[in-house]
């Protein structure tokens, strides 16, 4: 029987590979390796001995990785990749080969999907093959046909005669209902935390791809494409019921729909809510949304079905910046969205970015002012980071805005590092305005009082105390 290990390999403490901008987040968010869990579930369905290990969540080191490989002696090892961690990821591939020379190393994720040949050359043979884009079935097919890779699946990259070979481009799965549910049973789901979500929480991915053209968004451009492919409502709610069965404590926390934009298809969103109500699941959930999808009827149905919060990328308070980044959004859309959310009694977590093309001190001030006025329950500010595979990266490289192409500098001691500098707005300016916006919002006496009083349960108190501690940890790290 083939033995396959799917690894979220060690890097810096609290490093979150699965978020859109990989880093140790300001709130120390740790999200489960959902894509690896899908791929592992596919492998398990094939009858193989497959297992997911999240060495980051378990706070393990590369020494622990070596011991794991020595003890397990796997046939195949699947390693995730991100831009900031890629050199360390390659080092983990080296460790795998050192401890088990016969193991085949497959690397997956957004960075290797964006620049596969570059990674293969840097890996110097320690990475055997790359699975591009949505990799669940591609990994399965690699394992099934290896070592006959030349005649094997498409959507792969590998070295042949010292040269990088790419067989077709990223693979997109059309029938998402055909996928098994992720292998959550391999993980301790209590390890994952987000101060903005009820504790514990579990991700659900009910659709993949995004039809919008935001120049900076990594996952649609590097992994999932622009076509929004949907699971059927029944299949989605089957998964919710299954998670409740294997992890009953989720009833005390919440599900989070990690789709790029859950609300882009209102009739389908309503059908999922109707199915939740029909089965009387009595759950709490939150979703990613967009500010131009403010359908009041949909919001009311979502609230009835258990929706607590909408996570929305408002991005900027400057129309000029929104247009420059191809957001396809008007400032007025955001105002209408907030009004519709208020009417439906849904909380909103606002996401804002400092440092998109054309940013100045004036536009950054506009964004902070806009964020403070919108009425969000919580919010986040991030510095704009151009990742390989995105239009934003290509524009920054073309115009000379990148301060470095050394991927080790994408982070600063694990924290997000600003690697873009415009003529009149530097990376230091971005960091300064990010911190300014966070402090102005979260250090308001009204927010702190509401934060304390609006506590639902002991687990809610736990996530708030932990979240506050994490945020203070970030601020202290900035002062050093």
Q: What is the pLDDT of residues 71-86, one digit of tens each?
A: 999 999 999 999 999 9
Asked whether the predicted pLDDT for residue 470 surpasses 70, the reply is no
How sure is the predictor about 449, in pLDDT bands with cuts at 50, 70 and 90? low
Structure tokens at 123: 């890996």
Q: Are residues 220 and 153 in the same domain?
A: no
Last residue of a domain, one of 167, 185, 203: 167
Give the least confident one: 278-282, 348-352, 411-415. Answer: 411-415
For position 211, which CATH number holds? 3.80.30.20
Q: Is 182 exposed, middle or buried (0-12, 13-18, 19+ CB in 10 A)?
A: buried
pLDDT at 476 over 70: no
Please tell me the distance from the alpha carbon of residue 281 to that of residue 442, in angstroms, as a whole number. 34
pLDDT of residue 144: 96
Q: Which three-class secondary structure string do you get for the chain?
A: CCEEEEEECCCCCCCECCCCCCEECCCCCECCCHHHHHHHHHHHHCCCEEEEEECCCCCCCHHHHHHHHHHHCCCEEEECCCCCCHHHHHHHHHHHHHHCCCCEEEECCHHHHHCHHHHHHHHCCCCCEEECECCHHHHHHHHHHCCCHHHCCCCEEEEECCEEEEECCCECCCCHHHCCCCCHHHCCHHHCECCCCCCCEEEECCEECCCCCCCCCHHHHHHHCCCCEECCHHHHHHHHHHHHHHCHHHHHCEEEECCCCHHHCHHHHHHHHHHHHHCCCCCCEEEEECCCCCCHHHHHHHHHHCEEEEEEEEECCCHHHHHHCCCCCCHHHHHHHHHHHHHCCCEEEEEEEECCCCCCHHHHHHHHHHHHHHCCCEEEEEECCCCCCCHHHHHHHHHCCECCCCHHHHEECCEECCCECCCCCCHHHHHHHHHHHHHHHHCCHHHHHHHHHCCCCHHHHHHHHHHHHHHHHHHHHHHC
Domain of 216, in residue numbers: 194-479
Please calculate the CA angle 218-418-376 and round it to the nearest 5 degrees. 70
CA distance 159 to 399: 32
Q: Which pLDDT band, with edges at 50, 70 and 90, does 473 fall under?
A: low
User: How far apart are alpha carbons 213 and 368 in whole angstroms?
Assistant: 24
Does 159 lie in the same domain as 229? no
Residue 125 within a domain: yes
At residue 188's C-alpha, the angle toward residues 186 and 193, to 5°, is: 130
Residue 179 resides in a domain: no
Residue 186 in any domain: the answer is no
* Residues 218, 227: Cα–Cα separation, whole Å: 14
Separation CA 111–CA 389 (nearest Å): 8
Q: Is residue 410 part of a domain?
A: yes
Question: Does 212 lie in the same domain as 110?
Answer: no
Cα separation, 70 vs 68, in Å, equals 5
Residues 6+ apart with CB under 8 A from 145: 151, 152, 153
- Over residues 322-333, the pLDDT tens digits come to 999 999 999 999
Distance between CA atoms of residues 103 and 113, nearest Å: 22
Per the structure, how many domains does the chain have?
A: 2
235-236-239 Cα angle (round to 5): 90
Domain-embedded: residue 399 = yes
**Are 302 and 243 in a shared domain?**
yes
Quick: pLDDT tens for 390-401: 999 999 999 999
Tell me, yes or no, whether 462 and 373 share the same domain: yes
Q: Which of 149, 167, 185 is the last residue of a domain?
A: 167
> Residue 456 pLDDT more than 90?
no
- Do 206 and 87 sit in the same domain of this protein? no
> Is residue 480 pLDDT above 60, yes or no?
no
Residues 235 and 155 in one domain: no
Give the pLDDT confidence of 184-198 residue by residue, as tens digits. Answer: 999 999 999 988 899
| Residue at token pair 């882009």 | 264
> Of 286, 295, 277, 264, which is closest to residue 204 (Cα–Cα)?
286
Contact 135, 224 (CB under 8 A): no
Q: Are residues 238 and 152 in the same domain?
A: no
User: CB of 254 within 8 A of CB of 244?
Assistant: no
CB contact set of 1 (below 8 Å; sequence gap of 6+):
47, 48, 49
- Based on the fold, state whether residues 200 and 159 are members of the same structural domain: no
CATH of the domain at 148: 3.40.50.2300
The residue among 35, 17, 14, 36 whose CA lies nearest residue 26 is 14
Checking if the pLDDT of 168 tops 90, the result is: no
Strands of 201-204's sheet in order across: 201-204, 254-257, 285-289, 307-315, 347-354, 378-383
State the pTM of this model: 0.94
Same domain, 354 and 396: yes
Do 158 and 255 reside in the same domain of the chain? no
* Whether the Cβ atoms of residue 254 and residue 203 lie closer than 8 Å to each other: no
211 touches 260 (CB < 8 A): no
Nearest CA to 184 out of 367, 6, 332 is that of 6
Residue 384 placed within a domain? yes
**Domain assignment present for 187:** no
pLDDT category, 474, cuts 50, 70, 90?
low
């Amino acid at each position: 029987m083939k033995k396959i290990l799917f690894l979220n390999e060690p890097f810096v403490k609290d490093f979150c590979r699965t978020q859109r901008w990989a880093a140790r987040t300001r709130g120390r968010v740790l999200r489960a390796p959902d894509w690896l869990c899908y791929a592992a579930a596919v492998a398990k369905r094939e009858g193989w001995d497959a297992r997911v290990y999240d060495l980051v969540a378990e706070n393990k080191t590369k020494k622990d990785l070596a011991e794991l490989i020595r003890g397990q002696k796997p046939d195949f090892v699947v390693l995730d990749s991100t831009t900031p961690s890629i050199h360390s990821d390659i080092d983990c591939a080296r460790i795998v080969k050192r401890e088990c020379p016969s193991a085949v190393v497959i690397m997956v994720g957004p960075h290797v999907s964006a620049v596969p040949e570059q990674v293969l050359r840097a890996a110097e043979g320690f990475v055997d093959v790359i699975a591009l884009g949505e990799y669940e079935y591609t990994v399965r097919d690699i394992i099934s046909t290896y070592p006959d890779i030349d005649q094997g699946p498409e959507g792969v990259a590998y070295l042949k005669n010292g040269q990088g070979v790419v067989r077709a481009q990223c693979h997109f799965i059309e029938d998402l209902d055909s996928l098994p549910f992720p292998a959550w049973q391999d993980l301790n789901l209590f390890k994952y935390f987000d101060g903005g979500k009820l504790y514990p929480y579990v991700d659900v991915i009910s659709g993949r791809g995004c039809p919008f053209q935001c120049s900076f968004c990594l996952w649609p451009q590097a992994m999932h494409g622009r076509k929004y492919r949907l699971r059927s409502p029944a299949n989605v709610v089957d998964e919710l019921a299954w998670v409740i069965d294997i992890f009953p404590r989720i009833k005390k926390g919440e599900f989070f729909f990690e789709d790029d934009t859950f609300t882009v298809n209102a009739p389908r969103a309503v059908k999922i809510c109707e199915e939740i109500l029909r089965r009387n699941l009595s759950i709490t959930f939150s979703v990613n949304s967009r500010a131009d999808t403010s359908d009041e009827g949909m919001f009311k149905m979502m609230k009835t079905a258990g929706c607590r919060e909408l996570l929305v990328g408002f991005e900027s308070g400057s129309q000029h910046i929104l247009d420059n980044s191809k957001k396809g959004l008007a400032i007025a859309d955001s105002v209408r969205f907030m009004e519709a959310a208020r009417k439906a009694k849904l909380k909103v977590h606002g996401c804002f970015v400092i440092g998109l093309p054309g940013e100045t001190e004036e536009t950054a001030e506009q964004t902070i002012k806009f964020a403070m006025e919108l009425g969000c329950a919580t919010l986040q500010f991030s510095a704009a980071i151009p990742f390989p595979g995105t239009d934003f990266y290509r524009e920054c490289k073309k115009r000379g805005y990148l301060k470095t192409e050394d991927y080790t500098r994408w982070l600063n001691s694990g924290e997000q590092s600003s690697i873009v500098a415009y003529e009149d707005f530097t990376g230091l300016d971005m960091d300064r305005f990010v911190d300014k916006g966070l402090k102005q919002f979260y250090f308001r006496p009204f927010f702190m009082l509401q934060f304390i009083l609006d506590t639902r349960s002991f687990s809610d108190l736990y996530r708030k105390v932990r979240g506050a501690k994490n945020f203070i940890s970030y601020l202290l790290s900035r002062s050093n």
